[in-house]
Chain A
Amino acid sequence: MAQSSILESTPETPTQFPTWFSEQQQQAWADFQSLPMPSRGDEVWRFGNLKQLDFSEFTEKETSDIHFQIPSLPDGVICLPLEDALQSHSDLVQEHFMKSETRLGSAKFTALHKAKVKSGLFVYVPDGVKVADPIEVSHVLSGAHQTIFPHTLIVTGKNAEVSVIDRFSSANEDDAGLCIAVNDLIAGDGSKLTYCTIQELNTSSRMIQVNVTNVGRDAHATAFITNTGAQWARNESVSMMTGEGAHSDMLSCSIPSGTQQYDQRTYQHHASPHTNSDLLYKNTLYDTSKTVFSGLILVDEGAHYTDAYQTCRNLLMEDTTEANSMPGLEINADQVKCSHGSTSASISDEEIYYLCARGIPPQQARRLIANGFSTEVVERLRNEKLEEIVLQAIERKFALV
């Protein structure tokens, strides 16, 4: 049976899902149809590749291929596929499901996601409970022009602690797939929430990932994005510091090669005083790859004593790469410490010479330096298990380039 495009097929919410959910999906579908396509004049798509947004030949995948690797969980922790959680914990899901508006350009596609989402992960960690080992979820794209809409919703109660890894990969090297993912991270007061994405899709596939993190009073959230795969990937990450003392780390390590393009937009929103956020995005570019980084720190009126930092570093490994950086600040409060920085450079000859002088061949020297460059951001995860998993993904990529 020939399937119709994801842009045309009306969503069919499975009947076992709650009514509120099917209503929201219908509404989202209407929103998707009425929202305009991003256009060249849109500041949030500046330097972006709008050609990648033609999804007309993609169809919706009937069944999603998700694998869960769930460690032993303390009592009270809910960790379920989204479709199960929708039935067993409908109220809890409804309370947190896609509450924030999409601010960084992909509103149309998050509406599409909302209309079509059928699967994903729901995690709820009650007050004071700590989950020691990371929860791992793997999403596999298979079949030509198939689309998945994975959703990750993580909610932590007061002083709770949890870490989650989302992996995205392709079943084979050829099938062009599309992944429109949304994840909502809600870090309750005093909690510690770590979320890590590893995107290793094949180089025919495309990915849009929209991340919204809400950080409560004295909570600490970390969102890490690893990009090594996909033809084109767009990450939109918003961090909202809503409670005093909130801390958010936004980290990313991307290694594009060939003709890969990564387009990353970030938003650090300080809505309360005494909050801090620290962003470090690193790109190592090979061949004719291209990256776009656009970041904004917004400090609301009254959000005094904010510390916000934003750094984007580009390591240009070849003469044919292109790195665009737009680090931005909007400060409306006083007693604020903010800085942003962006650098783009290649490995200097001295560095190579230094290593060559110690018997390391130039090729390997370059690799070592690039590896060290990426490792710096990975170490910021401050979680050995996660660091190891990310480093493995990075190693796999470096082995290819």
Chain B
Amino acid sequence: MSPDTATVDRETQTAIDIDRTKGDFSFPENHKYDAGVGLTKNTVDYISDVKNDPDWVRAFRHKGLETFFDKPMPTHWATEDLENIDFDKIRYYLSDGQKPKRSWDDVPPEVLETFERLGVPEQERAFLAGVEAQYDSEAAYSNVKEELEKDGVIFVNSTEGLKEHEEIFRPWFGKVIPTGDNKFSALNSAVFSGGSFIYIPKGLKVKHPLQAYFRINSENFGQFERTLIIADEGAEVMYMEGCTAPKFETATLHSAVVELVAMKGAKIQYVTVQNWSSNVFNLVTKRGLAHEDAEVRWIDCNIGSRLTMKYPGVVMKGERARGEVISIALANSGQHQDTGAKMIHAANNTTSNVVSKSISVGEGRATYRGQVHIPKRLKGCKNNTECDALMINANSKTDTYPAITVRGNQHVTQHEASVSQVSEEMLFYMQQRGISEAAAMSLAVNGFINDLVSEFPMEYSVELKRLIELEMEGSVG
């Protein structure tokens, strides 16, 4: 590397630098509606009252609550750390009571400041097709660009979606991920608020990605957003979510449910860049349903959190449907990234691909947990799963637990995993050329995930590389 390019790189880096300390703050809490701590039927009713839910939504929430109480913690396969979640100390609903805003001018200044610090650049807003920015659990700002509205795109929060567009969203709401899917999807069904409900009409290819920025801002306050994206026949959309959270001392729970429905020939890409602070339990259920010739792609990056359990899934229901999960996880000390993918083949000639790369730093633990299921009487299903783990320090931990079921002989599945560390030779080679050990390590790690990072949209991939560099700081030497 010549000195010139090195300077340029440094400049570029400064330019894209994210000051992470900006995430370490919180504003005085000022909430009009507060469901209090703990979870009872009254909490759920309170949320329903505030949101003025239709009766069927209220009933849905009640059922969710019952299921949540019935279901045991999945600790027979998951980490015991789940037992440390104290459901009685969590606030299930907070809202400033303001209606979602349509223009940036109406957004309260302190909220605006939060977004500023989160790094939603002003000039970028014009490019962002619609910004669904979530402050605490209620969308404080929602802006759908006029042209999208003209095209018939619906981009609203969950409350509005279920109330105003019941005929579109109700048929699929809770259908991809049933309430009883797991304990946390049941919890979400009971207390959900916020999130995005999106409908893309037939044949429309949305040019710009739709984005949602959200964050947790109240101590002991869990976010339970609910997202449902429906891409009608032949439609295409990319949705991006990113999150940061201020650091609090007590554990916070985040438990979202994201459902995607890709009708015949549609394509949905869902991009997540997650950077929770290391006290957050992030237990998310994400699943897509792909009809004939449709494609669902999950592009996922998990950094931070105390425990993340997230296994984006695709149910390939129609012939030739495609499912894909691209995932990067970085676990630092005190963090456990338990991520993976779930591929359910339910029609002939369906194909799925899972590429997962994880990095364990310090005492971090990264886990890949996957399921591939090809039932009887199907033909021509293909699955490819690759998971690679990189371990940086002597105390780093990594696990892989895939489960592959194949019935019938007209399919091809392959699973491969490797675990490695940055080789001494590689570091030596770089150090010999004047690169410090830490920088060499950082380069090697970025090289490890580089081919996956390029799958992310431009602005995210830049941010991502920077975030990973920051996480790597101080891990060597």
Q: Nearest chain A CB to B370's CB is how many angstroms away?
A: 10
Q: What's the minimum C-beta distance from B383 to chain A, rounded to whole angstroms?
A: 9
CB of B450 within 8 Å of the partner chain: no
**A328 CB → nearest B CB, Å:** 4
The answer to whether B402 touches A326, judged by C-beta atoms less than 8 angstroms apart, is yes
A343 lies within 8 A of B403 (CB)? no
Whether B404 pairs with A316 at a CB distance below 8 angstroms is no
Nearest chain B residue, comparing its CB with the CB of A311: B416
* In-complex Cβ contact of B418 among A285, A338, A344, A346 (8 A): A338
C-alpha spacing A129/B55, complex, angstroms: 82
From A326, A328, A336, contact of B399 by CB (8 A)? A328
Of the candidates B393, B400, B405, B407, the one whose C-beta lies within 8 Å of that of A328 is: B400
A310 to chain B: closest residue by CB: B417
Nearest-neighbour CB distance to chain A for B96, whole angstroms, equals 43
Size bin of chain B's contact surface: 20 to 34
Q: Is the CB of B394 within 8 A of A304?
A: yes
A318 touches B394 (CB 8 A): no
The B405-450 residues at the A interface (CB cut-off 8 A) are: 405-421
Highest count of chain B CB atoms <10 Å: which of A41, A301, A333? A333
Q: Interface digits, A23-44 against B, CB 8 Å rule (1 contact, 0 not)?
A: 0000000000000000001110
Residues of A within 8 A of B420 (CB): 336-337
From A42, A325, A332, A338, B402 is in contact (CB under 8 Å) with A325
Q: Do the beta carbons of A314 and B406 come within 8 Å of each other?
A: yes
Closest chain B residue to A304, Cβ basis: B394
- Give the chain A neighbours of B77 by CB distance below 8 A: 43
- Give the residues in chain B near A342, CB-CB below 8 Å: 402, 404, 413-415
- Does B56 make an interface contact (CB < 8 A)? no
Q: Which residues of B contact A285 (CB under 8 A)?
A: 409
What residues of A have a CB within 8 angstroms of the CB of B416 in the complex?
Answer: 339-341
Q: How far is the CA of A301 from the CA of B202 in the complex (A)?
A: 55
> Is A141's CB within 8 Å of the partner chain B?
no
Q: Chain A residues with Cβ under 8 A from B400's Cβ?
A: 327-329, 340
Q: Enumerate chain A residues within 8 angstroms of B418, measured Cβ to Cβ.
A: 338-339
Question: In the complex, A332 Cα to B418 Cα: how many Å?
Answer: 14
- Contact between chains at A334 and B396 (CB < 8 Å): yes
B391 and chain A: residue at smallest CB distance: A334
Chain B CB within 10 Å, residue with most, of A46, A329, A343: A329
Q: Which residue of A lies closest to B395 (CB)?
A: A301
Closest B residue to A320 by CB, please name it: B408
Given A337-B419, A341-B416, A342-B415, CB of A47 within 8 Å of CB of B409 = no
State the interface size on chain A (CB cutoff 8 A): 40
Q: Tell me which residues across on chain A come within 8 A of B408, comparing CB atoms.
A: 316, 319-322
Q: Does A316 lie within 8 Å of B391, measured CB to CB?
A: no
Docked Cα-Cα span, A128 to B117, in Å, equals 72
For the complex, is A317 an interface residue (Cβ under 8 Å from B)? yes
Given A43-B77, A335-B421, A341-B417, check contact A326 B404 (CB 8 Å). yes
A329 touches B419 (CB 8 A): yes
- Which residues in chain B, 369-411, are within 8 Å of chain A measured between CB atoms? 376, 389, 391, 393-411
Residues of B close to A345: CB separation below 8 A: 409, 411-414
Chain B positions within 8 Å of A46 at CB level: 403
B394 A328 Cβ-Cβ under 8 A:
no
**A329 and B76 in contact, given A301-B395, A324-B403 (Cβ under 8 angstroms):** no
CB neighbours of A47 from chain B (8 A): 403, 405
Contacts of A336 in B (CB 8 A): 391, 419-421
B118 CB to nearest chain A CB (Å): 35
Q: Annotate B26-44 by CB proximity to A: 1 below 8 A, 0 otherwise.
A: 0000000000000000000
B421 and A346 within 8 A (CB):
no
A residues 270-303 touching B (CB-CB < 8 Å): 285, 301
User: Which residue in B76, B399, B401, B411 is a CB contact (below 8 Å) of A42?
Assistant: B76
B361 CB to nearest chain A CB (Å): 11
Q: Which residues of B contact A111 (CB under 8 A)?
A: none
Inside 8 A of A334's CB, which chain B residues have their CB?
A: 391, 393-396, 421
Residue of A nearest to B383 (CB): A344
Known: A43-B77, A339-B419. A331 touches B406 (CB 8 A): no
- In the complex formed, the residue of B with least CB distance to A293 is B404
Report A179-204 residues with CB < 8 Å from chain B CB.
none
**Chain A residue with Cβ nearest B416:** A341
Q: How far is the CA of A317 from the CA of B410 in the complex (A)?
A: 9
Which single member of A316, A321, A332, A339 contacts B417 (CB below 8 Å)?
A339
Given contacts A320-B408, A331-B397, whether A41 and B76 have CB atoms under 8 Å apart is yes
A341 & B415 in contact (Cβ 8 Å cutoff): yes
Query: B397 contacts which chain A residues (CB < 8 A)?
Result: 330-332
Residues from chain A with a CB closer than 8 A to the CB of B376 are 320, 322
Whole-angstrom distance between the Cβ of A216 and the nearest chain B Cβ: 25
Select which of B391, B415, B421 is within 8 A of A327 by beta carbon. Answer: B415
Give chain B residues whose Cβ lies under 8 Å from the Cβ of A325: 402-405, 415
Give Cα A332 to B421, complex, Å.
12
A148 within 8 A of B: no
Whether A329 contacts B399 in the complex (CB less than 8 A), given A337-B420, A341-B414, A345-B412, comes out as yes
Which residues from 40 to 63 on chain A have a C-beta closer than 8 Å to any C-beta of chain B? 41-43, 46-47
CB distance from A377 to the nearest CB of B (A): 18
Does A155 lie at the interface of the complex (its beta carbon under 8 Å from any beta carbon of B)?
no
Query: Are A322 and B406 in touch, CB under 8 angstroms?
Result: yes
Indicate whether A85 reaches chain B with its CB closer than 8 angstroms.
no
Contact present for A343 and B413 (CB under 8 Å): yes
Of the listed residues B395, B401, B406, the one surrounded by the most CB atoms of chain A closer than 10 A to its CB is B406
Q: With A and B bound together, what is the CA distance between A41 and B74 in angstroms? A: 9
Closest CB in chain A relative to B278 CB, distance in Å? 20
Report how far A323 CA is from B405 CA in the complex, Å.
6
Is there contact, CB below 8 Å, between A319 and B410?
yes
* Bound CA–CA A334/B63 (angstroms): 47
Residue of B whose beta carbon sits closest to that of A290: B407
Tell me which of B406, B409, B417, B421 contacts A329 (CB under 8 A): B417
Given contacts A328-B401, A331-B398, A337-B420, contact A343 B409 (CB under 8 A): no
Docked Cα-Cα span, A391 to B376, in Å, equals 32
B399 with A331: CB separation less than 8 A: yes
8 Å CB contact of B406 from A318, A323, A327, A341: A323
Contact present for B402 and A328 (CB under 8 Å) = yes
Residue of B nearest to A342 (CB): B415
Closest to A39 in B: B76
Which of B394, B403, B410, B411 is close to A326, meaning CB atoms less than 8 Å apart? B403
- Taking a contact as CB atoms closer than 8 A, the residue among A316, A323, A326 that contacts B401 in the complex is A326
- Bound complex: CA of A379 vs CA of B380, how far in Å? 32
Tell me, in angstroms, the Cα distance from A304 to B393 when the chains sit together: 11
A316 contacts B409, C-beta separation under 8 Å:
yes
A329 to chain B, nearest CB (A): 4
Which residue on B lies nearest to A338, using beta carbons?
Answer: B419
Closest Cβ neighbor of A333 among chain B residues: B394
Report how far A295 CA is from B85 CA in the complex, Å. Answer: 31
Shortest Cβ distance from A316 into chain B, in angstroms? 3
Q: How far is the CA of A331 from the CA of B403 in the complex (A)?
A: 18
CB-CB under 8 A from A322, the residues of chain B are: 376, 405-408
Known: A322-B405, A328-B400. 11 other contacts (CB 8 A): A43-B76, A316-B406, A318-B409, A322-B376, A324-B405, A329-B401, A330-B398, A334-B391, A336-B420, A337-B419, A345-B409
Jot down 23 A-B pairs with beta carbons below 8 A, ordered by A. A43-B76, A43-B77, A316-B406, A319-B410, A321-B408, A322-B376, A323-B404, A324-B405, A325-B415, A328-B401, A329-B400, A329-B401, A329-B419, A330-B397, A331-B389, A331-B419, A334-B391, A336-B419, A336-B420, A338-B418, A339-B417, A342-B413, A342-B414
Q: What is A's interface to B at a CB cutoff of 8 Å?
A: 41-43, 46-47, 285, 301, 304, 314, 316-346
> Closest 4 A-B residue pairs measured CB to CB?
A316-B409, A346-B409, A329-B400, A338-B419
Residues of B near any A CB (own CB < 8 A): 76-77, 376, 389, 391, 393-421
